Amino acid sequence: IKINVDGSVSVSNTKAAIGGAVRDSNGNWLTSFAMITRVSDVFQIETQSVVEGLKLAWSKGFTQVEVNCDNAMLIDTIRNGFASISNIAKVQLIHEWCTKDWKVKFRYVLGKNNKVADYLAKAAIEKLNQLVLLTDPQQYITRLMLIIHCMRRPLSPYIPSF
């Protein structure tokens, strides 16, 4: 499966949230999550989004996971083996989750390719530190996924334009 994760901090620095979308190998929607979190720096918020994505994937019994994140520094830290020695507890937690009996890959993606996770993070409206699972994609997300899917393939005369 693939999990796209993202963190978001409001312009006024008064609100922070994380979000993520879980899809199968064909890009089909499986589930997603969103959560308001304590305001912190963007790196720590992005780190929390990865942790929550890993926890969700583990709880669903997935054994092969690819985590996509648009924070290059975080992905470099994890992929270069520095997560286990980081002085940031949540980065160490990522390392701990990766040592479980499963295969986890991390991939940096550009922000423009992470719009669904970005939308989920910005749309989080529930209680602080309470993970909200969404089993069905909202209409906006469905349309956004279709647009992203179409952008990755040559245009066909049968695909409607938006």
- Integer Cα distance of 18 and 132 in angstroms: 10
Q: Is 132 helix (H, G, I), strand (E, B) or coil?
A: strand
pTM metric for this prediction? 0.76
Is residue 63 very low, low, confident or very high in pLDDT (cuts 50, 70, 90)?
very high
Portion of the chain with pLDDT greater than 90, in percent: 38
Q: What does the domain layout of the chain look like in residue ranges?
A: 2-151
Q: Max alpha carbon distance in the chain (Å)?
A: 53
- Residues 102-158 pLDDT 10s: 999 999 988 766 666 776 776 665 445 666 666 666 555 565 555 555 555 544 444
- Integer Cα distance of 64 and 112 in angstroms: 25
Which of 143, 153, 152, 150 shows the shortest CA–CA distance to 116? 143
Q: What are phi and psi of 64, to 5 degrees?
A: -130, 115
| Averaged pLDDT, 33-55 | 90
Is residue 60 very low, low, confident or very high in pLDDT (cuts 50, 70, 90)?
very high
Q: Is 143 helix (H, G, I), strand (E, B) or coil?
A: helix
More confident residue, 25 or 112: 25
- Integer Cα distance of 157 and 76 in angstroms: 40
Query: Residues near 124 by Cβ (< 8 Å), separated by ≥ 6?
Result: 17, 18, 19, 34, 35, 36, 132
CATH superfamily of 2-151: Ribonuclease H-like superfamily/Ribonuclease H (3.30.420.10)
